[in-house]
Amino acid sequence: MGLGGDYMIVPLVTAEIFGIQRLGLLMGVILTSNGVAEAVSPWLGFFTLIGTALLGALAAAVLPKGQRAT
């Protein structure tokens, strides 16, 4: 329900703002950039998580050694 509404509102708002004459061109740009963003975003998030994990591992590795309680 929400996904269908999202896909229907984009051409309506685009036509309202820029006019019907440029709707085809603008929808091509919008849908292409949307597809590229949907393809790239998971990879960027994955690499961000890898970087965060490596930073955490580095931070844990440089912690000073604690003394054991006897």
What's residue 70's pLDDT?
A: 67
Question: What is the C-alpha end-to-end distance of the chain, expressed in Å?
Answer: 63
What's residue 2's pLDDT?
A: 65
Please give the average per-residue pLDDT across 55-68, as a whole number: 89
pLDDT tens for 3-42 read: 677 788 999 999 999 999 999 999 999 999 999 999 999 9
What's residue 41's pLDDT?
A: 95
Scanning 1-70, the segments in alpha helix (DSSP H) are 2-18, 23-61
What's residue 4's pLDDT?
A: 76
